[in-house]
Amino acid sequence: MTNERNRKMEPLNAYLGAQVRDTVTGFTGVCMAFSVYATGCNQVGVCPPVDKDGKPQDWHWYDQERIEILVPAVFVVGGPQPVPPRRS
């Protein structure tokens, strides 16, 4: 028997930086954090885009089971680094 509650969940680190959507409310944003609880009710912190005036909006926390990844995160590691200033 397969239902929404038994669907395969991504590992929590797959959510960080990804654009996600809450399947119940339709709320979308970028996953900025996650919390792991001993009870197994892990939660994902979702930050919405800024409003029309450019002001940041409040985060919302959702159970991991309710979240789907819309656009996976892409992290670039390495590359050119600025040269730190030297003391003379």
Q: Which residue has the tokens 């959507």?
A: 21
User: Any idea which fold 10-71 has?
Assistant: SH3 type barrels. (2.30.30)
- Residue pair 28/70 in contact (Cβ under 8 Å)? The answer is yes
pLDDT at 88 over 70: no
Phi, psi for residue 58 in degrees, rounded to 5:
-70, 145
* Structure confidence by residue, pLDDT tens digits, 15-29: 889 999 999 999 999
**Residue 69 DSSP label:** E
Q: What is the pTM of this model?
A: 0.70
Report d(CA 28, CA 2) in Å as an integer. 25
pLDDT at 8 over 70: no
Q: What strand order describes the sheet that includes 67-71?
A: 60-63, 43-47, 28-35, 19-22, 67-71
Mean pLDDT of 4-24: 78
CA-wise closest residue to 32 among 23, 43, 44: 44
* Structure confidence by residue, pLDDT tens digits, 38-84: 988 899 999 999 889 989 899 999 999 999 999 998 776 666 777 77
Kindly list the domain boundaries of the chain, sorted by start residue.
Answer: 10-71
